[in-house]
Amino acid sequence: MIESRCGIVCSDCEYKEKMNCGGCISIENPFWGTCDVKACCEKKNLDNCGMCGDFPCDLLNKFSYDEQEGDDGMRVEQCKKWCDLA
């Protein structure tokens, strides 16, 4: 089962408990405001970015490889895994 639109594994996220977050796919907007990746993916009615014809787009790549907030492409790889399982 997928846990997010962008490939983040929400069950491993320290903020899930700290911020009482229901996880990406169960919430309307994240606690910090809005997420462009989530908004884009849901607008296209996709389960996750891995299912997108534009995957991995500039927005997702920028997000995943961001020096401060990124994870060196791990979430992009996770999207591929979820896609292979679907």
Binding marks (x or -) toward ligand SF4, 10..49, rule CB under 6 A? Answer: x-------------x-----x----x-xx-xx--x-x--x
SS (H, E, C) the chain: CCCCCCCCCHHHCHHHHHCCCCCHHHCCCCCCCCCHHHHHHHHCCCCCHHHCCCCCCHHHHHHHCCCCCCCCCHHHHHHHHHHHHC
The residue among 60 and 82 lying less far from ligand SF4, judged by its C-beta, is 60
Tell which positions 54-83 bind ligand SF4, by CB under 6 A.
54-57, 59-60
List of residues contacting ligand SF4 (CB under 6 A): 4-6, 8, 10, 24, 30, 35, 37-38, 40-41, 44, 46, 49, 52, 54-57, 59-60
